[in-house]
Every structure is written in C-alpha cells, then in structure tokens.
Amino acid sequence: MLSAKLIAALQAIFPPERFYSDPADCYTYAYDNSRKIFPPDAVLFPLTSQEIQHTIALCNQYQTPLIPRGRGTGTAGGSLPEQGGIALSMERMLDIISIDPANRVIVTEPGVLNQSIQDATKPHGFFWPPDPSSASFSTVGGNIATGAGGPHAVKYGTAREHVLGLKAITGSGQHITTGCYTTKGVVGYDLTRLLIGSEGTLAVITEATLKLSALPILTAGVTAHFRDLSGCTAAIVNIMSLSQLPSALEFLDARSLDLIRGRYPEMLPKDTHAMLMIEVDGSHADIPDSICAIIKACQNNGLISAARTDDTASLWKARKALSPLLREIAPKKINEDVVVPVSSLPQFLDSVTQLSTQYKINNVNFGHAGNGNIHVNLLINPDDPDEVIRATRCLDEIFNLVIKLRGTLSGEHGIGSEKRAFVTKEIDFPTLDLMRGIKKVFDPANILNPGKLFPQN
C-alpha cells in the first residue's frame, strides 16, 4: 500500500491517464510470460527522464519498490512486482531520436518495439540483430535489460554486442551516460555491458544508442531431417566446425516436431525424429558454397534428407509457433534456456532424455543449437503434487549437468525470480558478494526491482 503523501507527490507529476491506481487497471501489469501474478500498487507511464528521476527520488524517500518493465514478454519473472510497489511501464517512451546510416547507429527511447527498429532501419539497408521470438511486441529496453538474443545470435551475437551506449537513471537517482557513439571506445569501465542483462536492478534505461548491421544481400535455408537424435546432434557439431558460419541453426526434437505436425500436417516427413532449420546469408557468390558445405556436414547414418529451401519465412513461421503450441497442450510448463558448449550438445540432449524418462516427465526440447542454447521444456500438471516434485528434482539435475558441461543456466531469458534459487550453482559466493556490492552502489536503498537475480538470504 502506497502512502498518501507518496500518491499526492506522484499525482503532481503524472496526470491521471499516466498514473493507474485502480486494482483493475493495475492487473495488466501484474504478470509476464512466466504466468505468475503479483499486482503492483500503482502503475506509472513516464515520458521523460526527468519524470523517472523524480519518481526514483520519491521511491527512495518513501522506501517504495519500483519495478521497470517493457511489454511484459519475459519468461523469468523479471518484471513482476513481487513486493508490491510501483510498476514503471516504459511503453510510452516511443521516440526514435535519430537514424545515422553513415555511422550505422540508431538512437532510441526504451519503449520502442524491436520490430519498429527493424522497420525504421530497413529502408537504409540495415537491421538490429537481436531477434527474440517476441520481437514484434517486445521493447528495446526490455531486450537490453534481459540481454536478448534469438536465432540469429549464432552469427551476429546478442544485445551485448549491439549496444554502443546508454542513458539511465540509477537507483540512487543519478543520471548516467555510458559507452560512446563510436564502435571503438575504451575510456573508463564498461558500464554499458554491466547494465545490459541487469534486469532493471541497477538503473532505468532512458535512451539507447544501438549499433546496426547491414542487411544481407541474400538469405537461403536448409532443412535437414534425421531418423534419430544422435545423427542430428552430430550434424550440429559438424556444421559449427565449418568456416561458413550459418546465420541461424535451430534444433527441434521429436516431440517438437509432433506439435508442428498437429498444426501443419503436410510440412514434415512422418519418419523425421529430429530436425535442423538452417539459415545462411551473404552474397549471391557465397550462398551456394555455404549451402553445399552445410548439406555435406549433415551427412551421417541418421540423415533422411537435407535440401535447400528459399522459403525461409515458412521455416520461421513453424519454429515460432512452438511456444504457443506448448501453452495450448501444457498451460504449466517449466521452460529453461540453458546453454552448453556446442561440442557437448550430444551428451547434454541424450542425458536430458534419460532424466525426463527417469522422472517420468514429458519433455520437449528445441532452440538455438548454433549457440548450444536449448529451450528445455518440462510439461507438468500443476495439480499433481507428485509430478511437480519429480519435475523439480529433474530440473535440479539438468542444471547440475549444465554446469558440469561448462555451460550456463540462462542464455537469453535472464534470471528474474524463476532461476534465482539456482544461481549459486554457477556463481561462487565471493563473486556473488561482489555483485551484491555493485547493486548497493547503484541502488543503495534497494528500491529497483528488489529481490531479483540473487538468491534469497
């Protein structure tokens, strides 16, 4: 519950249409794609950095949590107001400040959609590489806060590689500017990369200077069908050993394919039990050689067929349908985006299959194989306590396996609240203490997204 004095002070800054306090209005901002619900006491819609700065000062004064959020597409609970307080929605900061083709830069406010950035830069021959599955309705600020990636990260990298600089307001209310306008710059500590992936726990991003990449001249694809998982994973390792790096390399297991068959019955051969969707981009001269090398790398005893397709749009349509289809058949799923070294994928996926069998949990795996980034989905009935316990134990062993293979617990979804209990599997206590110290420097009163990222004491 907000104090009357805080409400009065905020009403002096925000007009009624940008200050929600009615529980019915606030409910939309009580959840994200993790499907957990924590209603905020109020929702604010700032338009300027000054409004954000005033809000942070007031939240410090009245010791009130402030939770920044974009469009709430995250899956890890990073934007949930678990301790109540104020949801700070950045969705109305929608200005694209400048596009600079000569320097391959776009400067934008945080509420601009990823897709809007692509639409604005395409006429100039450029794009911004981070492409999460939610790109058409997720914000740039959210993409930066979670360190978003997507299928094309295998060639182009994640958000960390494509943000030159930021403007932000720290949890103590200070306006900071990080990074620079150029692609080279080594003055001072790299605070830009520190803020990327910090999930709104250190500062509120108010402006981003993004590095653009040239649109490829040509894009083509390869679909490779396999009789078994082992043949598919062997092909992934072979492909990633090539000098011709694919622009996307997506893996789908047998249960993923069954879901797609249910929606697109004519798309896949019946005997396909694992599949790769591979995209290459480049010049007209480069594409044929890349396609030939990739098809050759797929050759093994488990291969059914591997062939070129120029209809890459259909590939992505089927791939992006997977998560919604999973929601339809399993309203409750444990969705983890772990990463292991590419060379360890055969061992990892085989072990996950064994673990899901051992614990009697339905399991669907797909993801960005070129990065070793697999979306492991454990499908459970939340009304079956025994199944929930088995799934929890299975997940714990999967995380142990990831760390044993020198992987990481999250490639692009972040930690939020969903994975914080497992963080100590990956980060040792001295490092964790250092991170907590950084949090105190940026946000001494712990008002910004409190309780996220770190295990509960």
Phi/psi of residue 275, each to 5°? Answer: -145, 150
Question: Whose CA is closest to 53, among 275, 232, 206, 240?
Answer: 206
* pLDDT one digit per residue (tens) for the chain, 457 residues: 899 999 999 999 999 999 999 999 999 999 998 889 999 999 999 999 999 999 999 999 999 999 999 999 998 999 999 999 999 999 999 999 999 999 999 999 999 999 999 999 999 999 999 999 889 999 999 999 999 999 999 999 999 999 999 999 999 999 999 999 999 999 999 999 999 999 999 999 999 999 999 999 999 999 999 999 999 999 999 999 999 899 999 999 998 888 888 777 777 788 999 999 999 999 999 999 999 999 999 999 999 999 998 777 776 777 777 766 776 666 677 888 999 999 999 999 999 999 999 999 999 999 999 999 999 999 888 889 999 999 999 999 999 999 999 999 999 999 999 999 999 999 999 999 999 999 999 999 999 999 999 997 6
- Angle of helix 49-61 versus helix 4-11 axis, rounded to 10: 170
265 burial level (CB within 10 Å; 0-12, 13-18, 19+): exposed
Q: Which domains does the chain have, with CATH numbers?
A: 4-89 (3.30.43.10), 96-214 (3.30.465.10), 218-320 (3.30.70.2190), 330-404 (3.30.70.2740)
Long-range contacts of 329-334 (CB under 8 A, 24+ apart): 329/259, 329/379, 330/362, 330/377, 330/379, 330/380, 331/35, 331/382, 332/35, 332/379, 332/380, 332/381, 332/382, 333/377, 333/378, 333/379, 333/380, 334/376, 334/377, 334/378, 334/380, 334/391, 334/395
Dist. CA 355–CA 81, nearest whole Å? 34
CB 218 within 8 A of CB 105: no
CB 30 within 8 A of CB 89: no
CB 87 within 8 A of CB 81: yes
Helix (H, G, I), strand (E, B) or coil at 418: coil
**Four-CA torsion 114, 38, 457, 450, nearest 10 degrees:** 50
